[in-house]
Structure 1
Amino acid sequence: MGNNKTTVGLVYGGKSGEHEVSLQTAFAVMNAFDYDKYELIPFYITKQGEWRKGTTLQAPLGKLDQLKLEQSREGTEAALGAIFSRLYGGEAGIDLMFPLLHGTYGEDGTIQGLFEMANIPYVGAGVLASAAGMDKAVMKKLFAQAGLPQCGYRFFTKSQWERSSFNLIMGVEDDLGYPCFVKPANLGSSVGISKARNREELEQAIELAFRYDLKVIVEEFVDAREVEVAVLGNDEPMASVPGEIISSSDYYDYAAKYTDGQSEMVIPAALDAETADRLRELALIAFQAIEGSGITRADFFIRKSDGAIFINEVNTMPGFTPYSMYPLLWRETGLGYQALLDRMIELALERYSSKQSLVFANDI
C-alpha cells in the first residue's frame, strides 16, 4: 500500500465441488492483472476449508499447482488476521478482497458476509444478491415477482423427498413431463445436473442431485438456444452484447464448460436487434431483481419453435477461465480483460465508500 499500488487479496479454492474451477479462474485473473498498478496477496482455501496466505506478488505465479501455496507457513490464523486487521487497529495491508470462489461458501453470501464483518471492500455481488443468486429456488421466486418469463419448474427438499417421493414424482410428471432437467438448488457450473427421460432416470437424477444439496430443482425441457448476457455496475448497471453457447454435449455440462474445449461460443450471438435489446433489458431486470452489484451473468433460453425468451438463471460469480463467456462478452462490447478488472475494483470501492456514510449507532 505504501508504493501507490492497490493491494488486492485474491481468494480462491474453497470447500466446494467447484474447487478446481476456482483455481482455473484465479490463475487466469492473476495473469491478467496489471502489476504496475496492483500487487496481489494470494489466499488459498483448501478443500477441507483451511486457509493459506501467500506472500505479496509483484508478478503472477507460473504454474497452476503453485496456487495451492503448499510452501506457505501462514495458515488460517494469519490469513484471517490480515483480512480483519482493520478491526483491531492493525495496519490495513489489503485495500480490497477479490473472491474467486465458485459454489458453496464462495458465491452464496458467506464469504461476502465475512468481508462485511471485517469492514473491507470486496469485488462482486453483496451478501443478499450472492445468496439469492446461489439458491435457484429463491432466485426463481424473485424472477417471478419481477415479471421475468421462466420455464416450468418444481423444487423440494431432501426431507420432503424422503417422506413422499412418489407424490413428488407424480407432480413432476403431471406438470413438467419428460424429458426434464434435475439440478441441485445451490450449486453452479452444471455440477450434479442430469437430464431425465423417464421415471427411472428421474429418480436417479434426484438422488444424484441430493448428493450435492439438500434442495433440488426440476425444470421442464425446452428445445432452445442458450444465450448469455454480462452485466456490470452498481446503481446504473450496463449490459453487454449477447453471446450464444453451442454445446458439444446434450446440454452445457461441467465438462463442456471447463475441460473439453469443444463447446462453441458465438459472440455476438446471431440475433435480430430487437431480440438482442430485449435480452439486455431482461438481464438488467434480473440484476435488479436480486439486488445485484458489481457483476452478474444472465443466462437465457430462446425457444426454437417460436423465439420465446425465458430466463434460466443469473450467476453472481461467473468464471474467468480461458473458456469463460463473461470476459469474452465484455471484450466484444469494447471492454478488455484488464479494463474489466479495473472497473470491477472501482465498483467494489464505490460500493464500500457509499456504505461508510451510513449510521449504525442508535442515538435515539
Structure 2
Amino acid sequence: MILDGALPEAVARAADALAAGELVGLPTETVYGLAADAGNDAAVRGIFAAKGRPADHPLIVHVANQAGVARFAAEVPAFAGRLIDAFWPGPLTLILPRRPGMAEAAAGGHPTVGLRCPAHPVAHALLAACAARGVHGLAAPSANRFGRVSPTTAAHVAAEFGDALLVLDGGACDVGIESTIVDCSRGAPVLLRPGQLGQTDIERVAGTRLLSKEELSAPDPQAPGMLLAHYAPNAKLRLMEAAQLRTALDILGPDAAHIAVYARTPLRSASARLIVRRMPDDAAATAQQLFAVLREFDAAGARLIWVETPPADAAWDGVRDRLTRAAASA
C-alpha cells in the first residue's frame, strides 16, 4: 500500500505501524529503505526475513539528529563528531562502537553499529513521529530482496514486496545510490563504501587522511554493502569500454536482441531490437538514475546489460562501485 508521504496522516499511520513492530517502506535521499524499530529485535528480524538477508549482515540505523547517536554509540571520536556536524543530515553513514544491549539484531550481533541521519523531509517527519511513540531509531536497509537492485521510487518497493507493505511515497530519490560509509571505530577514518560524498570533502572535515580498506591488516568490521556481488539486476551485467561496445555491436549486427546498453558514447547498431539508454556525462546525474535504469532494462526483458565503464576520476567512485558489484553477480 503506497501512501503520500507529504500527508501528516500517512506519516502517523506509518509511525503507528512501526511502533507496533511492523515494517514500512521509507524514502530517503539515497534509496528507499525497509524500516523497523531499531530497538525491537523481533521487528528487525522481520527485515532480514523479508529481504532474505543473512542475520549477521548488519543494517544501518537511521536517527533523527545528533542526539540519537548517544543512544546507540558507546563513543564518538572527535573526527567522527566533525563529520556529523558537517554532513548530517546527509548521505553519510558512520560505523561506531555500539553501546552494549542496543540494536543487537540491527548490528547483526557485532560490536559496531552503522548510524545515519537522512536528509529527506518524509524520513525526518517519520523519525519525529516515531520518537513521539517511543521509537528512537529505525533500522532500514534498502527495500529490495537481498543482493538485488536497490529501489529509488515507492513503486520499486511495492514491486519487491507487494501491496501488503505500507510504503510512504517521497518521490524519486535525489542521490540514487546508497550512502558513503566511513568506519570510525579504529582510531582513524576508513572508507568502506564510496557514495556521493567524496573523499576530499571527508578528509578536509575530518582533519586526517581517509584510509582505504586495503591499507589495514585488521579485518574489516561487518558493515552494509560490503559484499563483492551486490546491486544486481536479473539480466547479466557486463562493464565494457567504448571500443569493446562498438566491436560487439558490429559483430552482432541486426541479430542483437535481448541486449540493453547504457553508455555515454554514442553507439550505432543495425538492430531495431537493441535497447539503448544514454548515460549522463555527469556522475551525480548517473547515480541518480542508475538503479532505475537497471530496473527498466529488466522490465523490458533484457537478458544482457552492457554498461560503458565509468571514468576513472573520483567523482565516479560511487557509481563504479555499484556497477562493479552488480557485474560480479553475473
Shared fold (TM-score greater than 0.5)?
A: no
Q: TM-score range by the shorter chain?
A: under 0.3
What is the TM-score when the length of structure 2 is the normalising length? 0.25
What is the TM-score when the length of structure 1 is the normalising length? 0.23
The structure, 1 or 2, with the larger RCO (C-alpha pairs under 8 Å, 6+ apart) is 2
